[in-house]
Amino acid sequence: MRILYLTHAVPDYLSDDLLYGLRALLGSDLVDYPRKDVLYRTSPLRPMAHTLYGGGFHCFGLDDAAVDRSDLAAKVAGGYFDAILNSSAWRIPSPLHPQLGVIDGEDRPALHARYLGRVPLYWKRELPAPRADVEPILFALPDFLDDATPLPRVKRHHASFRMTSDIRRQLGGPFPPQYSFSSWRDYQRDIKQSWFAISPRGGGYDCQRHYEILGHAVLCLYLDAGAPWLLRESFRDGDNCLTFASVAELEAKIAACTDPQRLIDRGRRDLEQRHLASRRARDVLDAITRHQLRPRRLSLHERLTWRLWLRTSHRRLSHFAPKPPTNP
């Protein structure tokens, strides 16, 4: 399968998770455009990783591949690609296309009117309830970050969230967080050396932190009545994690957990079977296959629209120059 994968330059967990997974499955038949420099090991941004969102922990995981990005306008018009994926609906205003799928990874549950009902496939993170016209999707862990090597557990809990909400401030008393890890290795070591790891809600219920923790410590994640249905199906209290809606509930569940290793082991199984980036990408490819996207000859107006958009988007979407942090 050949896929044109529309990107923007800034690190974006869901978009980047899928790019990693699709490249692993499709090789150079996955064409990222514009080339997402911040994900490549040879990126000139690598010395500035600490200035990137999330410390750049999820960046720089791709080896250079012989990706052919030539004549894209003709390829888009002529049906060369089996699918075109807009990897960030609210950040990439791509034209419509009969083979266009859209990834909506925003924290808010709103769906983008530009695309909903007008493209063959629409994936939504934070989907509150099942819908026939929308595919649900979750974050994932890039495969290159997965390391099952255990470490001796010397801590009761790991916490690495900022005090940006009421529930986080409440958790900060009994579970004081640390969020200044200088490297992925240090961050993962702290998780692996802990029995429990706390993952409160951020902007949305789904969080990249869930998958960074899963299978290394007991994942303790915040789920209340408003949590998306797919998240509830994936993270099952007392089976592969502990869920909580209040600090008191979390403290009680941790105190009553007599076999945390069982939850860790089941979390490890689920991570490897369901929540690596390659698995998430396989789900996306399966959905594309099910919908049987078919090319058609684009009109002259559609061809010109795509030609202009591809030309101008390279300038707009590929520019990213992070600034070094200033001294406090």
Model confidence, pTM: 0.94
Q: Between residues 47 and 156, which one has the greater pLDDT?
A: 156
The 10s digit of each residue's pLDDT in 211-231 is 999 999 999 999 999 999 999
How far is the C-alpha of 195 from the C-alpha of 11, rounded, in Å?
30
Is the pLDDT score of 20 beyond 60? yes
- DSSP H/E element including 46: none
User: Which of helix, strand or coil describes residue 302?
Assistant: helix
Structure confidence at residue 248 (pLDDT): 98
Calculate the average pLDDT of the chain: 94
Strand ranges (DSSP E) for the chain?
A: 3-6, 30-33, 83-86, 100-104, 121-124, 135-136, 155-159, 194-199, 218-222, 242-244
Structure confidence at residue 315 (pLDDT): 83
The 10s digit of each residue's pLDDT in 104-145 is 999 999 999 999 999 999 999 999 999 999 999 999 999 999
Q: Where does the pLDDT of residue 319 fall: very low under 50, low under 70, confident under 90, or very high at 90 and above?
A: confident
Among candidate residues 153, 157, 189, 209, the one with its CA nearest the CA of residue 13? 209
Residue 186 Cα distances to 42, 48, 56, 179, 235, angstroms: 23, 18, 13, 11, 26
**What mean pLDDT is predicted for residues 317-323?**
72
* Encoded amino acid at 173, one letter: G
Is the pLDDT score of 327 beyond 50? no
Residue boundaries of the structural domains of the chain: 3-141+277-317, 147-274
Q: Where does the pLDDT of residue 321 fall: very low under 50, low under 70, confident under 90, or very high at 90 and above?
A: low
Structure confidence at residue 323 (pLDDT): 54
Among candidate residues 149, 243, 154, the one with its CA nearest the CA of residue 194? 154
Is the pLDDT score of 326 beyond 70? no
Q: Where does the pLDDT of residue 49 fall: very low under 50, low under 70, confident under 90, or very high at 90 and above?
A: confident
Q: Where does the pLDDT of residue 185 fall: very low under 50, low under 70, confident under 90, or very high at 90 and above?
A: very high
Structure confidence at residue 179 (pLDDT): 79
* Percent of the chain residues topping a pLDDT of 90: 87
Structure confidence at residue 322 (pLDDT): 62
Could you say which architecture CATH assigns to the domain 147-274?
Answer: 3-Layer(aba) Sandwich (3.40)
Tokens standing for 311? 């030309």
Q: Where does the pLDDT of residue 289 fall: very low under 50, low under 70, confident under 90, or very high at 90 and above?
A: very high
Is the pLDDT score of 324 beyond 70? no
